[in-house]
Structure 1
């Protein structure tokens, strides 16, 4: 009788144990920007390593538009079961909810891990009428809209950084919004704009020239490119991003993804892929990433009011 009871317990426990195993099927990774931009390139760099570490296919899906708000809204609405996760840069979470009627805010997500922290650089279009940084500033001085530059959405990190840089130089320009860095790069290749600020992954993928690195020091990957500090404009600018899930994700699943993420970020495969894109692999656990996002969100609300573009 005891043996029979034990067999019944094993029989009925089997399906329950199988349901608890995570992951047992493919995981969808939402990329809230079009193909070809920094977020997309870094997502695809880590995708193979996450697949290896989780033991199930991680399927990348682009949901671009509204400066990341469309894809992140979809992620926030998804079932919190670990089978829909996303990769997002800071601005889409820390700024866009205060600029547009987004269906999410920073509290809508479970933060899982940081995967990159990429310096921003000033990139020239193929047929720009200047070839170096001082020439760009001189061109901007010829008229209020002489300098035509691209941004991946109003209030984006790159919009804010470009506004700060031009303000520091005492010039202005005409900004042209795009759906993401991929479309901006195509416009730069086609000569529709003159310059833009983005991560160094974009010129690595497109061959577009870089004329400055935002910060006080040069990038090891771009040793011949001066920093804005060297050029007399001391300012810093990076874009960082990580894995997120809908709020309510169970702790055990979040911990599984976080452990897989740490191994993926530290893997040789990801580091090599990131370095080819001039990217900087960086890991932080979920709680530390959450703190960084929330702190930046508070800072950005004040900055957006200063720029006069905050949604009240």
Structure 2
């Protein structure tokens, strides 16, 4: 064997033990480029805004830019489909929310499965409030329910987005309270607000931020809140539970990666999300929007929460008998 061949063989034998280390070294270097969080909502929507706040802090935690990409439409399915098909490397994440887990129960054609995602962290629960027309002679949810029971089918509620949280919670309210109302669909919450203020509809379940702004403008009254405890901004307004309306689910949101993402990458992302969520800026955002923080010691307990909440929402969905296109 000549010297050239001998040198080549020697180099190959020397390098062989280190070949398997390349993926491990690359894994330890995660992230080495920008990370993208895909959301199924347009700019300015509450949880989209909170995601941008979180992304700023995540960038500091991970040492790489974290970019928010808006892919609204099709009840968040456009965003979910994109992330489900993305490389399983931790660089493409999804803004998870209750809608993505409800969609298979609502729509005939859903191209992803909830199991296509591995949850990493939960951002919080969104507080909804029960808003009624000022024309109604009621001061609380109990009085509204009694009035609705005495007048079955004569009251109506507004909602935007078939199968969205306001729609499903109004349906759940009817089932729990034993009342019957007519639903009126709108393209956006602004239209529903206008009709509620004018007395053309009687009830609207909407976000706490939206409801409080309507109340402060003298357009409507808030008669119950969806928080576990009374809201600081509405200390005299009872919760759903205090009003005798038990088992009302709360919309939640969080963040996940495509299933099959390496556990080491998921663990590093989970630590970064945990640190970002704990920052004063993010916690203040939750307080300002009457949202509630969610914290779990393990990813298993996080998954258990999602399973339990999905079943609670399913109990609101099944009576609708919806199979949307």
TM norm structure 1: 0.78
Question: Where in structure 2 are the equivalents of 1:66-81 lying within 5 Å?
Answer: 66-81=74-89
Query: Is the contact between residue 169 and residue 316 of structure 2 (CA under 8 Å) also seen in structure 1?
Result: no
2:303 alignment partner, one of 284, 290, 311: 290
CA contact (8 A) 2:148 2:179 kept: no
Structure 2 unaligned blocks of 5 or more: 1-6
The answer to whether the 8 A contact 1:111-1:287 is kept is no
Structure 1 unmatched runs, 5+: none
1:98 is the counterpart of 2:100: no
Q: Which is higher, the Rg of structure 1 or of structure 2? A: 2
Greater alpha carbon shift after TM alignment, 224-233 vs 96-105? 224-233
Q: Secondary structure at the residue paired with 1:122?
A: strand
Question: Which residue, out of 247, 269, 278, partners 2:281?
Answer: 269
Equivalent residue runs for 1:1-312 within 5 Å: 19-20=26-27, 21-93=29-101, 95-100=102-107, 101-123=109-131, 129-130=135-136, 132-133=139-140, 138=147, 144=153, 146-154=155-163, 156-167=164-175, 168-176=177-185, 178=187, 183-184=188-189, 186-191=190-195, 195-203=203-211, 210-214=222-226, 217-284=229-296, 285-298=298-311, 300-301=313-314, 304-309=317-322
Q: Distance in 2 between matches of 1:234 and 1:244?
A: 30
Give the paired residue count.
296
- Tell me the C-alpha RMSD between the 2 structures: 3.5
Given that 1:63 and 1:70 are in contact with CA atoms closer than 8 Å, whether structure 2 keeps it comes out as: yes
- Tell me whether 132-141 or 107-116 shows the greater mean CA deviation: 132-141
Three-state SS of the structure 2 residue aligned to 1:43 is helix
Per-residue deviation at 1:96? 0.7
What's the CA shift string for 1:121-142, capped at 9, x where partnerless? 2245xx7644854576548976
The 2-side partners of 1:140 and 1:191 are apart by: 23
The 8 Å contact of residues 119 and 237 in structure 1, kept in 2 or not, is answered as: no
Q: Is the 8 A contact 1:147 1:172 kept in 2?
A: yes
Q: Give the CA deviation at 1:54.
A: 1.6
- Structure-2 change in CA distance of 1:216 and 1:80 (3 Å): closer
